[in-house]
Homo-oligomer: A and B are copies of this chain.
Amino acid sequence: MSKPLILVTNDDGIYSKGLRLLVKLMQQLGEVIVVAPDSPQSGMGHAITIGNTLRLNETDIFDGLTAYHCSGTPADCVKLAKNVILKDRKADLVVSGVNHGSNTSISVIYSGTMSAAIEAAIEEIPAIGFSLCDYSEEAPMEHIEEFVIKIAQQVLDKGLPKGVALNVNFPPKRNESIKGIKICRQTRAKWQEEFDQRFDPNGRRYFWMAGNFVNMDKGEDIDEWAIANNYTSVVPTQYDLTAYHAISILNKEWEI
């Protein structure tokens, strides 16, 4: 049996520690190719590059592997990998990350990491976004390795329901080992922004966005609960945004 073909990408850029870890681990499971952004793309959501040109260049930073860096977004990387690099071959798995920072809860919609995974799901390729709930560029990651392997292997063995990608978050390194894996729903929460107003050397105003995470959700089946209690969270995530329950409400209530 031939080895599975695994595309590795991320949103922190081709030089990030999380990408290097994912490349190393995926080589244990299959044939790896890498297509990752030139530079960090955090907060890019599901952006794609349609009004500008894209660069895609090969790199030898991953010894012996086919690897490219791209001027675009994570979603662009998946599209270029499929259409320009792989062409007639189809990846068996797309993995994105390991992101340096949490993508639990509402962060999933701002996440470049998850946009790559969702882009792959649209192409009917099983896909996983991995994120570590520690924003440090040098965050310890040894404690997550066995879970990355285990989850990727499950997806290779069993596939995923159509239209679904996985949003996987890991707790930061703590004294105690990670307790296990919980399949969760997305926490109902939001970011409460505070804009830091400053003035440039010419006296003109600008802002930095900053914010606090506000969790309104007391459930124990949510990804935030899993992380707080030292579990790995797995949220099956879909790109059909239809609020089906609202269709009948609108049909009943509206005068149209």
A residues adjacent to B (C-beta < 8 A): 40, 42-51, 53-57, 75-76, 79-80, 82-84, 106, 108-110, 115, 118, 122-123, 150, 154, 158, 160-161, 163-164, 167, 180-181, 183-186, 188, 190, 193-195, 197-198, 204-209, 234-247, 249-251, 253-256
- How many chain copies? 2
A163 — which chain B residues lie within 8 A by C-beta? 188, 243
- Tell me how far the C-beta of A7 lies from the nearest C-beta in chain B, rounded to whole angstroms: 15
**Cβ–Cβ contact A237 & B247, under 8 A:** no
**Cβ–Cβ contact B240 & A236, under 8 A:** no
A150 — which chain B residues lie within 8 A by C-beta? 256
Nearest-CB residue, chain B, relative to A244: B185
A115 — which chain B residues lie within 8 A by C-beta? 45
A183 — which chain B residues lie within 8 A by C-beta? 247, 250-251, 254
**Cβ–Cβ contact B254 & A158, under 8 A:** yes
- CA gap between A75 and B193 in the complex, in Å: 12
A209 — which chain B residues lie within 8 A by C-beta? 48-50, 54, 76, 79
- Tell me how far the C-beta of A27 lies from the nearest C-beta in chain B, rounded to whole angstroms: 23
**Cβ–Cβ contact B161 & A246, under 8 A:** yes
Which residue of B181, B190, B204, B240 contacts A186 across the interface (Cβ within 8 Å)?
Answer: B240
Specify the main secondary structure of chain A where it touches its partner. mixed
Which residue of B50, B76, B186, B190 contacts A241 across the interface (Cβ within 8 Å)?
Answer: B186
Nearest-CB residue, chain B, relative to A105: B240
**Cβ–Cβ contact A83 & B194, under 8 A:** yes
A-B contact pairs, 21 of them (CB 8 A): A42-B51, A43-B50, A43-B51, A45-B46, A46-B46, A46-B110, A49-B209, A53-B198, A53-B206, A55-B207, A56-B207, A84-B197, A161-B243, A161-B245, A161-B246, A183-B254, A184-B247, A236-B242, A236-B243, A236-B246, A237-B241
